[in-house]
Structure 1
Amino acid sequence: MDQVLISTPDNPAPENRTEGYFETFDGQQLRYAVFRSSASVAKGTVVLLQGRNEYIEKYFETIRDLTAKGLWVATFDLRGQGGSPRLVKKRQHGHVRRFSDYERDLDIFLEKIVLPDTRLPFYILAHSTGALIALSAAPYLSTRIERMVLSAPFIGLIGQAASASTIRRLASAACSVGLGTMALSAKLREPEFRDNPLTSDEVRFERNAAMMRNHPELTLGPPTARWLVESFKTIDKVMTPNHLFSITIPTVVIAPTRDGVVPYIAQERLSRYFRAGQLVPVNGARHEIFQERDVYRAAALAAFHAFIPGSDAEAIQEVEAIGT
């Protein structure tokens, strides 16, 4: 199979992997990869769900952290971004027809790739938009997913030129007159480290900026009106007490207190009615905590590993060996 991931000297792809494409319910070919641990007995598989305008390569460092602990990682580029097909003619516009399409893609990924090709038990690690997908899909994932860790779930919006309520009204108006594929803002400029809302780590920031600069085919500009409308509708749904009560998968929400994209107060509000959820604030961290400085990444990874213990496969194997 031809190599489908991009490996660079400052961001090499982890070894021991399978990469390719899987077909969705509507014929899209989404790019995916499975990374195997070198441990003799796997402790389970982490299904990694990215945020908006992210891609597999951005998580190579985190994938190494997870596989070093004996976990496998299975991940894919969301429809309309990364190495997956774009959904509108203006390929820089981030678009989705219905938010439920993301959930159906996750369901097929679990069925076609994760279940037959990886190791039990299954966990979810999801960031931002990926965490919103996980929250929305969680009520019917309880028979397959053991635990979830959600990083800065996209359940609110700050740091924009207009308020979230204004953006919501404008997006709804555009969709109502058939302009759902239109973006509400201009093309995004190349990001600058100073005053960025994502990370305080300049090295990781520049690594990601270089990937965007050298491989623009992986990146997106602003979201479309339809993407915004569908996302806001899903936020409204997952924040209702009835929906949160229906989630039975034990969950940790890692909440950066200096998040410049999703308001921290919204993540606190989420935890009030989320019976299966536990809020873990990371003081001082910005939105992309797995792209943050070591002190913040270490705190997030420690919370993850404390909550995702993996299996007791190694101990069981030792007991069985003694008994033979």
Structure 2
Amino acid sequence: MCRTFVTADGVALRAAVWRPEGAPRGTVCVFQGRAEFIEKYAEVAADLVGRGFAVATFDFRGQGGSQRLLANPLKGHVDSFDDYRRDAEAFMRQVALTETPGPYYALGHSMSAPVLVALALRQPQWFERLVLVAPLIGLPLARAEFFARGLATGLGRLGFAGAYIPRGGDRIMALRPFERNPVTRDPERYGRSVALIAQEPGLALGSPTIGWVHAAFRAMTATALPGVPESFRTPTLVISAGADRIVDPRASERFAARIRGGGHIRLDGAEHEILMERDPVRELFWAAFDAFVPGSRTLA
């Protein structure tokens, strides 16, 4: 199921493709969030295949089964989100556009949102529609964001870009007890992700580096600059989690309102990982997806 492809700057990435029985209605390209990996999206892929779509996804550089960038493989690091965009471009050219049929739709979670916005502005012909789930557009506390942004910038300039963020380390956040996790209220799906990492520890990631945080802030700023959302032409549905503690759902709503052809849905009570949430939340998500993406065949 998995295969390897190489980016223009020589980074080896892991990809996977699923196909439905019969002729696909198109392809949904799934773009993951920070510290995620292909196996975590098996249920999402099955949901999409059941709707008649082919599915293609990959692990971004520095995480999952793709090439790690630092000597310590647990450090979540990237110098710039432009590198993630290059990953996405290589994935589209070498995997999705060559191995799966169009039309193409993008489903992106969290960290992937600024990547997809930059990609769709450069290659507007690739995607018919975008669905952004709990997008990384802003952080919940403006004061904390201001402090963190300044700290990351200052430490990065001092040469600490490859160091863990303050109070960060090798501890794998995805292995926290369910009661202390900030991403889902579904114990079964959370346990499934924990089991995947326990089975294959090489998929895990620790805290982000100072450089990663600095890159994330730059990407959020670039995505929300005056004229950027307004110039966006790809129809986009933004779905935010009402109980999100990782990103700011209000920032998502403001961003969606600035896109011509953009829409926003807020799922109250949902935590950050909407696609890994309880069944009632996921049913609302899939109802919105089915209404927005042409050709989606609602599951019986």
TM-score bucket (shorter structure): over 0.9
Which residue of structure 2 lines up, in the alignment, with residue 80 of structure 1? 62
Which residue of structure 2 lines up, in the alignment, with residue 303 of structure 1? 288
Question: Which secondary structure state, in structure 1, belongs to the residue aligned with residue 55 of structure 2?
Answer: strand
Report the RMSD for the aligned CA atoms in angstroms: 1.8
Aligned-partner residue type, residue 172 of structure 1: T
Question: Which secondary structure state, in structure 1, belongs to the residue aligned with residue 179 of structure 2?
Answer: coil
Query: 1:236-293: per-residue Cα shift (whole Å, max 9, x none)?
Result: 0111231101210001001111111111111122123122310011111110000000
- 1:170 matched to 2:151: yes
- 1:48 matched to 2:33: no
- 1:281 matched to 2:293: no
Q: Aligned-pair distance for 1:196?
A: 2.2
Give runs of aligned pairs for residues 117-196 of structure 1, distance below 5 A. 117-158=99-140, 163-184=144-165, 185-187=167-169, 188-189=171-172, 190-196=175-181
For 2:127 and 2:249, the matched residues in 1 are separated by 26
For 2:146 and 2:205, the matched residues in 1 are separated by 23
Question: Which secondary structure state, in structure 2, belongs to the residue aligned with residue 168 of structure 1?
Answer: helix
Contact 2:120 2:126 in 1 (8 A): no
Contact 1:55 1:81 in 2 (8 A): yes
Aligned-partner residue type, residue 288 of structure 2: A
For 1:241 and 1:214, the matched residues in 2 are separated by 45
Picking from 180, 202, 219, the partner of 1:217 is 202
For 2:57 and 2:256, the matched residues in 1 are separated by 26
Instruction: Flag the structure with larger Rg.
Output: 1
Question: Which secondary structure state, in structure 2, belongs to the residue aligned with residue 206 of structure 1?
Answer: helix
- 1:25 matched to 2:25: no
Q: Aligned-pair distance for 1:311?
A: 8.4
Give runs of aligned pairs for residues 91-106 of structure 1, distance below 5 A. 91-106=73-88
Aligned-partner residue type, residue 27 of structure 1: G
Structure 2 spans left out of the alignment, 5+ residues: none
**Identity over the aligned pairs, expressed in percent?**
39
For 1:230 and 1:56, the matched residues in 2 are separated by 23
- 1:108 matched to 2:93: no
Question: Which secondary structure state, in structure 1, belongs to the residue aligned with residue 73 of structure 2?
Answer: coil
For 2:83 and 2:199, the matched residues in 1 are separated by 30
Picking from 218, 226, 229, the partner of 1:233 is 218
Contact 2:134 2:241 in 1 (8 A): yes
- State TM-score, norm by structure 1: 0.87
